[in-house]
Amino acid sequence: MAPRTSIDEFKELVNSSDRILALCGAGLSAASGLPTFRGAGGLWRNHESTSLATPEAFQRDPALVWLFYAWRRHMALKAKPNRGHYALAELAKKKDNFLCLTQNVDGLSPRAGHPQSKLRLLHGSILDHKCFNECGYVDRNNLSDPVCPALAPAAQDYPPDQTLPLLDPNVPVPPIRVEDLPHCPNCRTGLLRPGVVWFGEGLDELMLMEIENWIMRGRIDIMIVVGTAAAVYPAAGYTRKAQRKGAVVAVVNPDADSGAGLSHNDFFFQGDAAEILPQLFEGVIGTLDEPVG
């Protein structure tokens, strides 16, 4: 049998539920105008985006990797949290036993006022910087744009009908000296790098332990999966773990196939999270005000 699709039924379930776990992916930020990580065709200046997201790429060409991330930072800082981010933040304020896990590194959930104690950034934040030499230094929530003068070409805005020179593979990459990139003020020897989890790196072990402890603490009433296929470990495992703790699963995604595998007791809402989440939580958070600014 197909999963349930009644918003009213789900609103009643949210009202009566105590422990709620949410897992969010790129689809949550789509309404904010942010491209997915891999972008159109998966290329950035003829580079596979994923090929720039490794420690080896940074070691080989830190200027190129920093330009890529400085551009992504600029896009994230220009974007604004959408109604989906605000709805989740309000639910977190109303429900004591709510926890949100996000795979997004764009910083939009914290900017929507999501309580830090009820948010775990699985893949880090593009607004954080840390020492590549792993001396322990971390600069959190750095809103400078550009990060440093040498990366200014990544923070330029052009009219919609014009291509940013940095994004045009036919335009040479601006020459940047390594000494002009951000350096660690603590050890004074290492470069700073984006505070995200790169391919080949493990997620923060303390954070993972905190999540496991939260899951094991007791019955989970609802597992909400927003804008992600949850296909990458360990995110993929959280849905199954929540189900084993008794959770009803609710998937919010514009992709019809993302509801595959749900039971008749679960919920599937096909569409934009920015439109759907405020409706689903309305019984708890009330009518969501229009975000200001």
- Active-site residue, from 123, 129, 183, 264: 123
Question: Dihedral through CA 101, CA 103, CA 107, CA 108, nearest 10?
Answer: -70
- Nearest CA to 182 out of 173, 191, 169 is that of 191
Give CA–CA dist 265/220, Å, rounded: 15
Report how far apart, in Å, the C-alpha atoms of 73 and of each of 108, 117, 180, 194, 260 are. Answer: 11, 24, 18, 10, 34
Residue 47 designated active-site: no
* Residues paired with residue 138 on neighbouring β-strands, in sequence order: 130
Report how far apart, in Å, the C-alpha atoms of 215 and of each of 110, 140, 245, 261 are. Answer: 22, 27, 8, 22
Give CA–CA dist 137/58, Å, rounded: 18
Report how far apart, in Å, the C-alpha atoms of 127 and of each of 110, 119, 141, 241, 270 are. Answer: 11, 16, 5, 30, 31
Active-site annotation, residues? 123
